Amino acid sequence: MSMASDSRAPLTMRSWLDRLAKTDRLVVARPGVALKHQVAAIGKHLDASKAVFFPQPDGHSIPVVTGFMSRREWIAEAMGVDNSELLQAYRKAVENPLPWDEVAAGSAPCQAVVHREVDMRTLLPIPTHSEHDSGPYITAGLIIARNPDTGIQNVSIIRIQVNSKNRMAVLMLPRHTWAFYQAAVKRGESLPVAVVIGVDPLTLLASQAIVPLNVDELGIAGALHGAPLRVTKCLTSEVRVPADAEIVIEGRILVEDREMEGPFGEFPKYYSSAEMREVIHVDTVTHRQNPIYHTVVPAEMEHLLMGAIPREATLLAHLQRSFPGVRDVHLSVGGTCRYHLYVKLHKQREGEPKNVIMGAFAGHYDVKHVVVVDEDVDVHDPKQVEWAIATRFQADRDLLVVSGAQGSILDPSTTVAFGSEDIPQELQGISAKMGLDATRPVKYSGHVFTKVKIPGEDLDPTPFLQEGAIESTRRFLAG
């Protein structure tokens, strides 16, 4: 199942990049590409086609890489499964985490070089991505923190704006890192964190698992690898980080300090506004010999898929617990891989799709529009879903609308759009929900709802085609 079983060494970012390089899926830029906009522009241009390696960006000795997990089939390959098994394999890993393996502090590859005096403005090649971004942002940093009460770790990805020599502002959504931070603040203490940059695709994917508080995502990373993840203790805190990571920033989220953060172009392809937010004070940076810096270009496929696959796996498991007829789900790219959920259902009773729609809304607050389709529709093909809406949906009886529910605060059409930064937090992200039952009736007469199929349409036509017959055909056309 996993890469670990068919290769000796565990999957690292380097071994994955090498695999892409030898299969013509990685391109190398000329040295000296600008960190401001150019790296992101080239990455965006080649998104979902090639990973890009940038040597000496702006002359910096540390190279930048982007786009190495920008296709669904690459992620399936890293997991060692077929595309069709991706969600089930991910779900299995989430349900069976593997405790990590600890490497002695100081001997891990990620601690080969130690910087105790840091200047975040020059130490790492941090790109500025979008037009109106406030400046350089770390976009692929795993934030690892420990629950101050239990010591159980949490991993998430949070955007990080570099503000000065040793201060960086962060946006924490009201989830797990936030909960640990609140617990630390209650004690009057800052929260030690590590920002880990340059890990393999499976560890990145594990960081995005939708799991309860106090489930360590590094255990899920181990399960995805098929072997415990090697971790090591930070030099300045108790936080454990992936031992084979490229770069580790050690620091603390301060109790009272706030600094302006934003604007920043986010996954829905809109900017979040500038607000006063929490601050990480950087204490130490460690890295491998000759490290590689990973940046994720916001709103491009690497960013979108990293969130989509764990969400799809969770939503599929959630729906199948109540509705065994649910066969597959997909968070469409046009729906920012968050807001539009397509559900494939083996419908046995009328009305069932509306129950599935209500279940999907309850599965994750980001889910805004749900379309339920039959088994003959491929939920990964937006044209087929649109076809189902065009031919199996009637708005007066098949539409479900819910007002005033909790939605994504990054969706600008929610309440955030109507005001300014003055909207109190508890009123942000209020959103309508819409569900479309685009299934055909369970019973219908004749072939009125049978999708047209031509016997043999799936077969390879090559044996039926003639080579070298164009000239004679042209002579025939000429009469």
Contact residues for Mn ion, defined by CB under 5 A: 154, 176
Q: Closest distance between Mn ion and the C-beta of residue 387, in Å?
A: 38
Q: Closest distance between Mn ion and the C-beta of residue 213, in Å?
A: 6
Shorter beta-carbon distance to Mn ion: residue 184 or 379: 184
Shorter beta-carbon distance to Mn ion: residue 154 or 272: 154
Tokens representing 298 are: 């916001």
How far is the first Cα of the chain from the last one, in angstroms, to the nearest whole number?
Answer: 60
Tokens representing 323 are: 């509705």
Shorter beta-carbon distance to Mn ion: residue 155 or 371: 155
Shorter beta-carbon distance to Mn ion: residue 111 or 154: 154
Q: Closest distance between Mn ion and the C-beta of residue 297, in Å?
A: 24
Shorter beta-carbon distance to Mn ion: residue 210 or 343: 210
Q: Closest distance between Mn ion and the C-beta of residue 156, in Å?
A: 6
Return the beta strands (E) in 230-292 as ranges.
230-233, 240-242, 247-261, 264-265, 271-272, 275-287
Q: Is the dihedral of CA 305, 310, 311, 316 positive or negative?
A: positive
Q: Closest distance between Mn ion and the C-beta of residue 217, in Å?
A: 6
What span, in angstroms and rounded, lies between the C-alpha atoms of 240 and 151? 10
Helix (H) and strand (E) counts in the chain: 13, 23
What's the gap between Cα 394 and its chain centre? 34
Q: Closest distance between Mn ion and the C-beta of residue 330, in Å?
A: 24
Q: CB neighbours (10 Å) of residue 263?
A: 17
Q: What is the dihedral of CA 33, 203, 168, 251, to 10 degrees?
A: -130
Q: Closest distance between Mn ion and the C-beta of residue 381, in Å?
A: 32
Q: Closest distance between Mn ion and the C-beta of residue 145, in Å?
A: 10
Quick one: which H or E segment has residue 371? strand 369-373
Shorter beta-carbon distance to Mn ion: residue 45 or 175: 175
CB 309 within 8 A of CB 86: yes
Shorter beta-carbon distance to Mn ion: residue 154 or 284: 154
Shorter beta-carbon distance to Mn ion: residue 176 or 225: 176
Looking at beta carbons, which residue is closest to Mn ion?
A: 176
Beta bridge partners of 401: 434
Shorter beta-carbon distance to Mn ion: residue 145 or 438: 145
Q: CB neighbours (10 Å) of residue 419?
A: 11
Shorter beta-carbon distance to Mn ion: residue 70 or 147: 147
Beta bridge partners of 54: 64
φ/ψ of residue 92, rounded to 5:
-60, -40
Beta bridge partners of 284: 250
Q: Closest distance between Mn ion and the C-beta of residue 177, in Å?
A: 8
Q: Closest distance between Mn ion and the C-beta of residue 211, in Å?
A: 6
Residue pointed to by tokens 């990145």: 204
Q: Closest distance between Mn ion and the C-beta of residue 221, in Å?
A: 12
Q: What is the DSSP pairing of strand 293-294 with strand 64-66?
A: parallel
What span, in angstroms and rounded, lies between the C-alpha atoms of 64 and 209? 26
φ/ψ of residue 95, rounded to 5:
-80, -15
Shorter beta-carbon distance to Mn ion: residue 176 or 303: 176
Tokens representing 250 are: 């050690």
Shorter beta-carbon distance to Mn ion: residue 94 or 316: 94
Contact partners, residue 191, CB within 8 Å, separation at least 6:
145, 148, 180, 181, 184, 185, 252, 253
Render 397-446 in DSSP notation, one character per residue: HHEEEEEEEE--TT-TTSGGGGS-TTS-GGGTTEEEEEEEE-PPPSS-ST
Say which amino acid occupies 437.
D
Closest CA to 164 of 117, 120, 115: 120
Q: Closest distance between Mn ion and the C-beta of residue 93, in Å?
A: 14
